[in-house]
Chain A
Amino acid sequence: AQRVTQPEKLLSVFKGAPVELKCNYSYSGSPELFWYVQYSRQRLQLLLRHISRESIKGFTADLNKGETSFHLKKPFAQEEDSAMYYCALTTGGFKTIFGAGTRLFVKA
């Protein structure tokens, strides 16, 4: 069965500190992985996708198939990064499932 695990419900860091939001997945096929972000009072929106290998708002994520992980990283956290972050997996049948989410709180 497909599964996405985000082990941390809450992550609190100081402004300027590095941040890493963990995501592990379980899927026997070739996964497509995403990070979504939900800022306060806004819609859930795509942050980045593994296939693009891009950096968005300073965030990067690398797919590690050996460890079945797709951790989200940013070297220097900003207060405006405070939000709910969801890791998501899309299967070959276009079924998209989400992890439980991690709330990131960046303190001044």
Chain B
Amino acid sequence: NAGVTQTPKFRILKIGQSMTLQCTQDMNHNYMYWYRQDPGMGLKLIYYSVGAGITDKGEVPNGYNVSRSTTEDFPLRLELAAPSQTSVYFCACGGAQYNEAFFGQGTRLTVV
């Protein structure tokens, strides 16, 4: 099993551009999460989903959108990219038992 797969691994965006970070999981877990990791700031929750068709804002949702049309996929959309969105983005999924989160390898995004 691949677990949680994120694409792309790296991306450079210009200010004002938009893009979608892809996340897919083959673990059949209901819960999925998007985090951003800034140096010295740890992981901040952007959005999360407890199941297909349900999404909720996390700690830092501004500037992002998500959708969850299937159990497997949880894409993160950036509209009008800004330098403040330069970060490493992690997608994770979790099951109901024990609530352990399984992480993807991350996407390093630079906005210039």
Contact = CB atoms under 8 A, between A and B. Distances in A.
Interface of A: 6, 9, 32, 34, 36, 43-46, 49, 51-52, 86, 88, 90, 93-101
B42 A43 contact: no
Nearest to B99: A90
B10 interface: no
A-B complex: 4 closest residue pairs judged by Cβ atoms: A100-B42, A98-B43, A44-B103, A101-B42
Interface stretch (B33-41, B69-77, B79-87): B33-41
A88 B103 CA distance: 14
Interface of B: 31, 33, 35, 40-45, 48, 50, 56, 58-59, 90, 92, 94, 98-101, 103-106
A49 B100 CA distance: 8
B29 to A, nearest CB: 11
12 contacts: A32-B99, A51-B98, A90-B99, A93-B50, A93-B56, A94-B48, A94-B94, A95-B45, A97-B45, A97-B59, A98-B44, A100-B42
A5 to B, nearest CB: 10
Contacts of B90: 44
